[in-house]
Structure 1
Amino acid sequence: MGWLPDIGYIMGGRGDSFCTESKKKSCNLGILSLETAKIMARLVSLYRSLSDEEIFNLREEILNSEGVMFLNSRDEKFLLSLACKEMLEDLDRAAASVSRLGKKCNDFGLNRFDLAYVNLKLGIIDSRILEYGSKLNEKRLRKMQRLISATSRLHAALEGLTELELTEQKMRQVKDKKMHLMKSNFDSFTQKLVNQRKMVHYFQGISLWCKTFDKSVGLMARIVCVVYVRICAVFRQYVPNLTTFSSQNIGCFKNQTDTPMIELVREQFTSHSGPITMASKVSLVRFHSQKSELFFIEQDDSVLSIENLLKKSLFHSAGPLTLGGSGLALRYAKVILLAEKYLDPTESIDHIDRESLYQMLPENLKVLVRTKLSKNMKRAEDDFLLAIGWREAMTEMLGWLAPVAHNTVKWQMERSFEKMKFDSKPSVLLLQTLHFSDKEKTEAAIAELLVGLSCVYRHENRQICV
């Protein structure tokens, strides 16, 4: 634990090194480069999402969009708390992965990055050396993006090589039976396979594949810290529990070597609260056993509030009266997108499509649609102007409803575990989706949408939707 008092020096190491240089030669990432590239991409995405332009867009465009305001909330402080919590959770996941990769580093500081991250959350570090947007950090970001791009191309080349090798095995089996027919084709294919292996070898050389654990983890560790300090700076006025960095936090362990380390840590928990309410859970960080459990703290709180957002997983914080809490967000998003698709005059719905769309609706929404539809049809059987009015109303409604539905599907795709994602662009936030949308309001809007679609289809001589 002797290195903890010098944490300020560790975090402010020379060049791209996160801390002191190792005397031993560090191993290369190899196959772990693919996972590392995903972590890097997520960190770059988080870094870019905290730029002045993105924060301005969040406050002025996203929070004031009609769909978010009508379905989710008009409370700016609450919505910004959602954004802050999601970014912190993403950062914690990235930090946990960096910490796991750091266990393979020779550098002791990187090897115990989990403790460095804990100290960062306690505010016992000079935040001035973690300046967001500095030229040095921008240079690191560009380097990371080049490595991500090269590793992404390596991944594609490896997949291509795997397919070619499988094809080669099949061709060898056929070649043994039909030697005279397959020789020329087999020679041509062999050359293609050789070229593919050369391509893989080339991308291995310029990607993370040949980078050491120490170099790669060192890059990511510093960006993790920069992103955390930036989140605190941007959202502190809306989320008071965030760490406050000041001159009092710098070197606060100096000249206290006579006090046991665990007692010093306990003092820090009571005086410098991090992004998770920790005063009553000091044992979460077990410095005496050199283990950190600061990542992913779950607590059972039934009330969704700004305070509880900092104790509970954001995804599971949606209440029972929201679509996320009801498990209906993605299903309703697909219904809205189908309605958007079928509003196109060139589209038609056959019996199978009609039944499939209808079965996507829960029973209560089916009843609501049928009730509205029957009342609407009684009022105007042959009014062609009604169809025109419905089309205009649906177009206006989809103008604010469809973007939220698109974002819901996009959010799910961006976080799909099965996909190898190397995209480092800022991603969609959960507050932009239907996850926190009011269930009653959304169902009323969808019912109006489907009734309008039925009216338009009937009067335009297309097959009825529901």
Structure 2
Amino acid sequence: MALETWLIKLKKTISNTLDTARSSNHKANVGVLSFEIAGLMSKLLQLWNCLSDKTIIRLRDESLSLEGVHKIVSNDESFLLGLACAEMAENIRVVAKSISRISKRCQDSDLQGFDRWFDEFANSGHDRHSWVLSSKDMEAKRKKMDKYVTITATLYKEMEELSTIENCLRKCKEYKPSSIKEQKIDDLQTKLFWQRQEVKYLKERCLWNKSFDMVVSILVRSIFTILARLKLVFFGFEFGYPSCLPRSLSASATVHPTQNPDTFHFVSGPMKTSSKPAVSFFESNSKLLKPPSSTLGAAALALHYANLIIIMEKMIKSPQLVG
């Protein structure tokens, strides 16, 4: 009887311990990773801005029409658009890789499997969790991320200031006491107190005290929406995507600004299958970024010659500087 009672108590103790552990894990905050996450949010904001109607129209009508681009790169507009699309897709892939690593810390199983769902969406357009946001919702997310990035950057500066004050105070205490130094120590201690209060206040407002599930949810929904926007802009696929997207845009391809910015329509049915082996969306785009072996890019000389062209242009505009 005593043994049975002891076993019951042991079972309750273990159960309570596990519940406490689960609770603490669920409440785990991102902490120092807030700075990395703020960096990811900043990159997402840049990608979203790059895919705005205004930016895309300027890319098509101005950047791709430059004489230098036509002479040095290509005069094929569809090829140039393909390069722009591939570069943006590669940037999205890199950010998604970082999000995938952080998502493993989430409690939500769907968020933990972000990499799998993201690849599925990239290759087929199948958004099984409805993570793609409308333009209106994405704008709200954009403002929220911008706010978090700003406050987290401020926190970083204030934490550096806090560290500086702590170091100064420690050095002052190492020397022999005097009336002047005691006054300085008192001033530093007061300053240290208020600086700690400022840091505490900023931690409560920024990403520092937010849960992994909360911040990863913002990142995931944003990058899904950005990828959807990329496909809509460069491929015009608004109602669903084929199982395998082309590596570059066709000769008749063009940029499609959003006709109805308040809505997105994406496939939510079963994934399409193909008898041919599918090439992933990101793999097909990455191939376009690999320069042929006979080019300067393959020889890692593109940047060198680009700098030479800039110098020559300056010399032509200001011949008096030559010599």
CA contact (8 A) 2:123 2:281 kept: no
How far apart, CA to CA, are the structure 2 residues paired with 1:194 and 1:329?
A: 53
Shift of 1:126: 4.8
How far apart, CA to CA, are the structure 1 residues paired with 2:83 and 2:57?
A: 16
Shift of 1:114: 1.1
Paired residue for 1:138? 139
SS in structure 1 at match of 2:106: coil
> Are residues 1:125 and 2:131 paired?
no
What amino acid sits opposite 1:310 in the alignment? S
CA contact (8 A) 2:99 2:216 kept: yes
> Are residues 1:275 and 2:139 paired?
no
Paired residue for 1:311? 287
Give CA deviations for 1:80-117 in whole Å, capped at 9, x if unaligned.
Answer: 11111111111111111111111111111001111111
CA contact (8 A) 1:241 1:273 kept: no
Residue among 245, 250, 260 paired with 2:268: 250
How far apart, CA to CA, are the structure 1 residues paired with 2:128 and 2:68?
A: 37
Shift of 1:252: 1.4
Shift of 1:134: 2.0
Q: Residues 164 and 320 from structure 1, CA distance in 2 versus in 1: closer, same or farther, beyond 3 angstroms?
A: farther
Paired residue for 2:189? 190
How far apart, CA to CA, are the structure 2 residues paired with 1:119 and 1:226?
A: 14
Alignment of 1:267-416 (within 5 A): 267=273, 270=276, 273-276=279-282, 309-311=285-287, 314=289, 317=291, 320-322=294-296, 324-331=297-304, 397-398=313-314
CA contact (8 A) 2:90 2:282 kept: no
How far apart, CA to CA, are the structure 1 residues paired with 2:230 and 2:275?
A: 20
SS in structure 1 at match of 2:99: helix
How far apart, CA to CA, are the structure 1 residues paired with 2:34 and 2:118?
A: 22
Shift of 1:186: 2.1
Shift of 1:130: 6.0
What amino acid sits opposite 2:291 in the alignment? S
What amino acid sits opposite 1:317 in the alignment? P
What amino acid sits opposite 2:80 in the alignment? L
Q: Which has the higher contact order (CA 8 A, sep 6+)?
A: 2
Q: Which runs of 5+ in 1 are unaligned?
A: 1-21, 254-263, 278-306, 340-393, 399-448, 458-464
TM-score (norm 1): 0.53
How far apart, CA to CA, are the structure 1 residues paired with 2:133 and 2:60?
A: 19
CA contact (8 A) 1:130 1:225 kept: yes
CA contact (8 A) 1:127 1:229 kept: no
CA contact (8 A) 1:28 1:213 kept: yes
Give CA deviations for 1:239-280 in whole Å, capped at 9, x if unaligned.
Answer: 7348xx998x53316xxxxxxxxxx9xx56847654145xxx
What amino acid sits opposite 2:191 in the alignment? K
CA contact (8 A) 1:124 1:251 kept: no
Shift of 1:46: 0.8
CA contact (8 A) 1:122 1:269 kept: no
SS in structure 2 at match of 1:310: helix
> Are residues 1:456 and 2:287 paired?
no
Give CA deviations for 1:27-81 in whole Å, capped at 9, x if unaligned.
Answer: 2100011111111111121112111111101111111133333333222112111
Give CA deviations for 1:343-371 in whole Å, capped at 9, x if unaligned.
Answer: xxxxxxxxxxxxxxxxxxxxxxxxxxxxx
How far apart, CA to CA, are the structure 1 residues paired with 2:118 and 2:194?
A: 44
Give CA deviations for 1:262-315 in whole Å, capped at 9, x if unaligned.
Answer: xx9xx56847654145xxxxxxxxxxxxxxxxxxxxxxxxxxxxx6x5336x3x
Paired residue for 2:222? 223
Give CA deviations for 1:147-194 in whole Å, capped at 9, x if unaligned.
Answer: 1111111111112222222222222223xx242331222222222222
Q: Residues 141 and 270 from structure 1, CA distance in 2 versus in 1: closer, same or farther, beyond 3 angstroms?
A: farther
What amino acid sits opposite 2:86 in the alignment? K
- Using the aligned pairs only, state the percent identity: 30
SS in structure 2 at match of 1:321: coil
Q: Residues 153 and 97 from structure 1, CA distance in 2 versus in 1: closer, same or farther, beyond 3 angstroms?
A: same
Q: Residues 246 and 128 from structure 1, CA distance in 2 versus in 1: closer, same or farther, beyond 3 angstroms?
A: farther
Q: Which runs of 5+ in 2 are unaligned?
A: 1-21, 238-244, 249-263
Q: Residues 141 and 182 from structure 1, CA distance in 2 versus in 1: closer, same or farther, beyond 3 angstroms?
A: same
Paired residue for 1:59? 60
Q: CA RMSD in A?
A: 3.4
Number of equivalent positions? 279
Alignment of 1:429-440 (within 5 A): none
SS in structure 2 at match of 1:105: coil
Paired residue for 1:204? 203
CA contact (8 A) 2:114 2:220 kept: yes
Shift of 1:132: 6.3
Paired residue for 1:286? none
SS in structure 2 at match of 1:311: helix
Give CA deviations for 1:360-411 in whole Å, capped at 9, x if unaligned.
Answer: xxxxxxxxxxxxxxxxxxxxxxxxxxxxxxxxxx8xx44xxxxxxxxxxxxx
Shift of 1:318: 6.7
Paired residue for 1:157? 158
Q: Residues 188 and 128 from structure 1, CA distance in 2 versus in 1: closer, same or farther, beyond 3 angstroms?
A: closer
How far apart, CA to CA, are the structure 2 residues paired with 1:78 and 1:246?
A: 27
